[in-house]
Amino acid sequence: MNIWGQIWPKAVYLVCNYSPKGNWWGHAPYKPGRPCSACPPSFGGGCRENLCYREDSERPYSPHEPEEETNEIERQRSKAQDATVQSRPRTHSPSASTGTDDSEKNEVISTQQMSQIVSCEVRLRDQCKGTTCNRYECPAGCLDSKAKVIGSVHYEMQSSICKAAIHYGILDNEGGWVDVTRQGRKNYFIKSYRNGIQSIGKYQSANSFTVSKVTVQAITCETTVEQLCPFQKPASHCPRVYCPHNCMQANPHYARVIGTRIYCDVSSICRAALHAGVVRNQGGYVDVMPVDKRKVYVASFQNGIYSESLQNPPGSKAFRVFAVV
């Protein structure tokens, strides 16, 4: 059952249906007097728990008196109030779900990370061969490493990733995360001294890369990749995002999820992360990797979220989500 955009496997609707109708404005619900003093003679004076009771019946007496004509009218309830009463489910909270409930939600957990942990000596040429270069985590103390840095701003592929990040000013000697983008061949590389590191010059054509700071941005449950980091050329990195809590309860019409594992860029980032098992409903950090668009996005049900299918979307791109551990 879909309750406010969340799948509840064991929900029950509770509706109050009063009969005979009553609780009219200006009228008391009961006649004043001693309990059981107006019971029908057929009950033989039986009374149980202040209700008329007949020994040969398990049901207490419920009087059906004819309604009295009055000029009083029942005050109309608003539609919003009626909807609130009729649609309130009596069920357990998802946060207190059991293992059975998790299986019914088709629980999926992903701990795959986009950022790669590297040492101070690792060169981009060693780490990035024919694949997309993305995000790296550098250790502390790389300022004292003997690894080489070739170039300034644009660095040659045999440069140390972490020392190039320190040279450019993205990191200090405490380490941290750095985004790397390959920039193709450059005719030469200029030497310079920056941030305690002397880089080497090279006057020979070679492949190059640039480094950039990993930014962190808080987003809403409805934020999409299309809004956060639209695809540009040359390619730009998406910031690391922080998803708020309770995105499971977000309206699926405004926070859509399209695809499985690879999602269309009009999908909600946080709900896609929940669907992929990258983050829990308590929220947390998520890395986003832009990828080429897909002709077909497949629907699925994972972690209590139904994703949509889509074929041949016009002009849209795609993305993947990764855990931040």
Is pLDDT at 242 greater than 90 in this prediction? yes
The residue that leads in pLDDT, 19 or 174, is 174
| Percent of the chain topping pLDDT 90 | 49
Structural domains of the chain, with CATH: 116-213 (2.170.130.20), 216-323 (2.170.130.20)
Strands 116-117 and 135-138: parallel
Summarize the confidence of residues 201-224 as an average pLDDT: 93
pLDDT in tens, 67-102: 443 333 334 444 444 443 333 333 333 433 334 455
**For the segment 24-67, what is each residue's pLDDT rounded down to a tens digit?**
666 666 677 777 777 777 777 778 877 887 766 655 555 544 44
- The pTM of the full predicted model, rounded to 2 decimals, is 0.62
Q: Which residue has the higher pLDDT, 2 or 40?
A: 40
State the pLDDT at residue 75: 41
Higher pLDDT, 98 or 153: 153
pLDDT above 60: residue 282: yes
**pLDDT given for residue 310 in this prediction:** 92
pLDDT at 239 over 80: yes
Q: Pick the closest to residue 138 from 152, 159, 153 (CA basis).
A: 159
pLDDT in tens, 103-116: 567 888 888 888 88
pLDDT at residue 314 greater than cutoff 70: yes
How high is the pLDDT of residue 16?
Answer: 72
pLDDT at 68: 40
What is the per-residue pLDDT for 77?
Answer: 43
